[in-house]
A and B are shown apart, each in its own frame.
Chain A
Amino acid sequence: MAGRQFMAILRKDLIRELRTREMLVSMFLFVMLALVIFHYAFGVDTDADLTYFTGGMLWVTFIFSALLGLNRSFAQEKDEQCLDGLLLCPVDRVTIFFAKTSGNLVFLLIIQAVSVPVFTLFFIERSYLADLGLFVLVLLLADLGICTLGTLLATISMSTRARDLLLPIVFLPLIVPVLIAATSATTAIFADGADLGGLAARLGFLAAFDAVFMIAAYGTYDFAIGE
């Protein structure tokens, strides 16, 4: 039963966005512009080798892009009162949470799939195809943390007066550990190549982060979503 409800909510969100593609396009444009800005921010007067910055650039961009997406999708919900409608149905609040998190995860992955090749084109000299699987794993684990925390906090912040202004303030301090781990792992992959053993600690950390906050969200989402 919960599974069907989950799929229903997820499908609704996906279909709605895929029909208009407003949010996806905005997120994508943001990422592209950010990359160009990074080039000028770091390299105008120097011929600096940005290899060891690549992980950081990528994840900073993805995190801010995720914030954009979260704000947008929840603002739509709020304006069209979808959430209120959903709450009237006998759906378990937690199911709503997992459905929304999954939806946000899908959107983030779509954006990443499109922008990573461009990023590679702009900034990366070495081929990291050999480590592609590892890279995707890092993406998935970090994205899960971002979307879990992001969905929980966006639900709260959308119900406040400040709406989308609040989300970055509450979200960014909490996501720092993910940023650290993901950046470190990604830079390792881009710069020198890495293997599962070398990245095991960071991947394990990301997985633990995801698990811990999924449990926390599971426990508190009832309250986050309000009456």
Chain B
Amino acid sequence: MVKKLTSAPALFAAAGAFLVTGLLLAFLYAPIDVSSMGFSQKIFYYHAPIAETALVAFGIAFVAAILYLRDPDPKWDRLGYVSVRLGLLFSLLVMATGMIWGKAAWDAWWAWEPRLTTFLIVCFLYAAYFVLRQVVEEESRRATFAAVFAIVAFIDVPITFFATRYMPEGLHPVVITAGDTGMEGSMFLSFMISMAGMTLLLAALVRSEVAAERLKDEIDDLKIRIGG
């Protein structure tokens, strides 16, 4: 029963339901933000959940990396690899929606503000994860090195956010944080439902991608059996 409930199709369905509901609530129920941003604030209802979900994905990779180092089972490496890939995908989406929001709210495609900057660095960081994987031939060594890097990288994410936010002093006239949007009840509900939807989407994607990777490994094993 649990297996059925958490299977990829079920998760996708649940994710879809939550995301659509969240979207409807965002547009039909939550009021238009009367502060500086106006209608463009509506982007926030997906932008922030995507950001959160990206970080969750990297967190999953972090845990998977630790588990792999303790017990070198390929399934942890698969989970880590898939999570980082999805995290990177979501991070790129954060940047895309963030830039669109920036153009709408401050009339600038780019600003060196904490969130955009942090996610930019995060993208480079986890892109490096893939470069690292690419240049290691031997499988178990690749997984080990990738795990070490996933651990170090995830630790660096909050540090980087903290650094970009608190250190460059007084250079950023345009700083929009989640706190500024001061959410009231209806906004909050829409936001939470979208958040749940995005997280379910991540879970669904992780599920199906991990299964795909397992297939790939199975193929490699079968090929060895045939060839050898």
Contacts and interface: CB of A to CB of B under 8 A. Distances in A.
Check whether chain A touches chain B (CB < 8 angstroms). Answer: yes
A169 B135 CA distance: 12
Interface string A135-177: 0000000000000010011001101111000100110111011
A14 interface: no
Interface string A196-211: 0000011001000100
A162 B134 CA distance: 9
Contacts, number: 88
A184 B152 CA distance: 24
B155 interface: yes
Given A184-B167, A205-B167, A220-B148, A166 B132 contact: yes
A205 B163 contact: yes
B135 A176 contact: no
Given A166-B135, A169-B128, A170-B132, A184 B169 contact: yes
Given A174-B125, A180-B168, A152 B152 contact: yes
B121 interface: yes
B155 A213 contact: yes
Nearest to A156: B145
Given A156-B148, A170-B128, A223-B148, A177 B136 contact: no
B131 A169 contact: yes
Nearest to A168: B128
Interface bracket on B: 20 to 34
A191 interface: no
Interface in B161-211: 162-164, 166-169
Interface string B137-160: 100010011011101110110011
A162 B135 contact: yes
A226 interface: yes
Contact of A177 (B69, B122, B160): B160
A201 B167 CA distance: 9
A67 to B, nearest CB: 14
A224 B148 contact: yes
A216 interface: yes
A224 B146 CA distance: 10
Nearest to B153: A174
Nearest to B124: A173
B150 to A, nearest CB: 10
A56 to B, nearest CB: 11
B166 A201 contact: yes
Nearest to A184: B167
A219 B125 CA distance: 20
A202 B163 CA distance: 9
Given A161-B137, A213-B155, A220-B69, A180 B167 contact: yes
A181 interface: yes
Interface centre among B122, B135, B152, B159 (most CB of A within 10 A): B152
Contacts of A174: 125, 152-153, 156
A88 B32 CA distance: 68
B80 to A, nearest CB: 13
Given A166-B131, A209-B159, A223-B69, A202 B167 contact: yes
Contacts of A177: 156, 159-160, 162-163
A176 B137 contact: no
Residue of B131, B155, B156 with most partner-chain A CB within 10 A: B156
12 contacts: A149-B152, A152-B152, A159-B141, A160-B145, A169-B132, A176-B163, A205-B167, A216-B151, A223-B144, A223-B145, A223-B147, A226-B141
Given A181-B167, A220-B69, A226-B141, 5 more contacts: A152-B148, A156-B145, A156-B149, A180-B168, A220-B148
Nearest 5 Cβ contacts at the A-B interface: A177-B163, A173-B125, A162-B135, A160-B135, A161-B135
